[in-house]
Structure formats: C-alpha cells, structure tokens
Amino acid sequence: MSVPHSPASPSGSADLTAFEPSVRSWVRERLSPLRFTHTEGVVETVTRLAAYHRIAEVPALRLAGWIHDAAREYRADDLLVEARRLSLPVRPVEAQSPRLLHGAVALGLAREVFGLDHPVVTSAVLYHTTGHPDMSRADKVFYLADLVEPSRTFAWIDQARALAEADLDTALLFSITRQLRRLLKKPAVIDTRAVELRNRLLAEGTPLTPRDVS
C-alpha cells in the first residue's frame, strides 16, 4: 500500500481516523510479526481502556498505538543516527541508553512520512517507555495499555491488568514501582522521569499496593 507524503497535518478526530490504515501498513513493514502482534494488542487495549476510563481521544491514542514501537527494532547506533538526522533532542540518559529514544524516533519518522503532528499522539508515544511526571490521563491509559496488552506475559501481569481497569494512578504507581525494582537488579540505566513520576504519584496520595510497602 502506498503511503501519503507530506499531507496536511491532521487536526480533528475524523482526520486521525482516516490516517489509520496507512500508518498501520507502514508500521507492519517495519516490525517483526511478534512486535506487530504486540502493536495490534496495544491498539486494541488502548481503545478498550480509554472507553472504560471515559477518555475521549481514542483516534489519537489508536494512532499512537500503531506508531509507538515503529523504531523499536532499530539498533542502538541507528537510533542515535536517526535522532540526529531528525534533529531530535537527545538527553544524556538517552545517549547512554539509546533504546530510550525509540518512541521519539518513531514519532519523528511518522511526522516525516505522514505529516502527523498531534499533541495527544506525541505525548502518548514520547512517554510510553519511562512515563513522565506531567502525564495526562490519556498518556496514563496509553502507558498501561502498552504494559498489559494480551500478548504480554510477566509475573505481575494479572495484578497490573486488574489495576488498569480499576484506577489509573494506582495501576501506574504499582507498575512503575515494579519496573524500577526490576531495573535496579540489573546494570541498567534508569531514566529519572520514571522516578519523578513515582514521586508525583506518591505526593498526590496514590496508594502503594500492600506487597510493595513491605
């Protein structure tokens, strides 16, 4: 399928929906079958969770779903090269761990190919890897959809799925806490955005689940 080049930047929901088939095809060509299955799962899950949490920006979140991992299979060096070519800002933690750039690069490529420049798509994609202290409710739903879509399997998935359908902030605090614990056991770089998000959720009185307090 051909993709549009340099179309007018979409603004309304109807415009965004019209972009979906082209963006889906573009992404399919860029990902392994396994990663594409994950991507389809994110689109399906974000649609369901957004309806459940009464978030209106479903067309933008579905587009974010298609786009978010489009550069996930790039090598670290290529992510840095693409980030430079697309004139993206690269923070020190991203230079140290270029995989953190995969959302920003995917967004930059989608902007280049489709002319897509929409604030809801942008923040959902940019914050899907680490979270961010200023996440919107739409961003939070997107982050959780990426984590709990049907093809995901990890030890605490059932609890994360249940919380994602109960309370966004509790689900997010639970998930960030578990992910930080996992990273601390490895020689992995930690993006302070995740820590700042956790601090903010705690400051707002979001409860930790009992097992995370002990």
Q: Specify the residue, 114 or 143, whose C-beta has the smaller distance to Fe ion.
A: 143
Alpha-carbon distance values, 207 to 47, 50, 163, 168 (Å): 26, 22, 12, 11
Q: Which of 40, 57, 69, 191 binds Fe ion (CB under 5 A)?
A: 69
Q: Which is nearer to Fe ion, 64 or 168 (CB)?
A: 64
Provide CB contacts within 8 A for 210, sequence distance 6+: none
Q: How far is the CB of 97 from Fe ion (least distance, A)?
A: 13
Do the Cβ atoms of 129 and 100 come closer than 8 Å?
yes
Rounded to a whole number of angstroms, the minimum distance from the CB of residue 60 to Fe ion is 17
State the nearest-atom distance from the C-beta of 168 to Fe ion, in Å: 18
CB 72 within 8 A of CB 128: no
The answer to whether residues 93 and 189 touch, using CB atoms and an 8 Å cutoff, is yes
Specify the stretch interacting with Fe ion by CB under 5 A; choose among 22-30, 132-140, 141-149, 156-164.
Answer: 141-149
**Structure-token pair, residue 129:** 């890897």
Report the chain's C-alpha Rg in angstroms: 17
Is 40 a binding residue for Fe ion by CB under 5 A? The answer is no
* Contacting range for Fe ion; rule: CB under 5 A; set: 90-98, 108-116, 146-154, 164-172: 146-154
Q: Which helix (H) or strand (E) holds 27?
A: helix 13-30
Write down the least CB distance from residue 68 to Fe ion, Å.
5
Q: How far is the CB of 205 from Fe ion (least distance, A)?
A: 29
Q: Which is nearer to Fe ion, 116 or 124 (CB)?
A: 124
Q: Does 146 bind Fe ion (CB under 5 A)?
A: yes
d(CA 196, CA 193): 5
Sole residue written with tokens 């049907």: 150
CB of 99 to Fe ion, least distance (A): 9
Task: Using CB under 5 A, count the residues that bind Fe ion.
Answer: 2
94 part of the interface to Fe ion, by CB under 5 A: no
What letter would DSSP give residue 151?
Answer: T
Q: Is the Cβ–Cβ distance between 42 and 65 less than 8 Å? A: yes
| Region near Fe ion per CB under 5 A, out of 64-72, 75-83, 156-164, 167-175 | 64-72
Residues 104 and 110: their CA atoms lie apart, in Å, by: 10
Closer to Fe ion by Cβ: residue 18 or 86: 86
Q: Which residues bind Fe ion (CB under 5 A)?
A: 69, 146
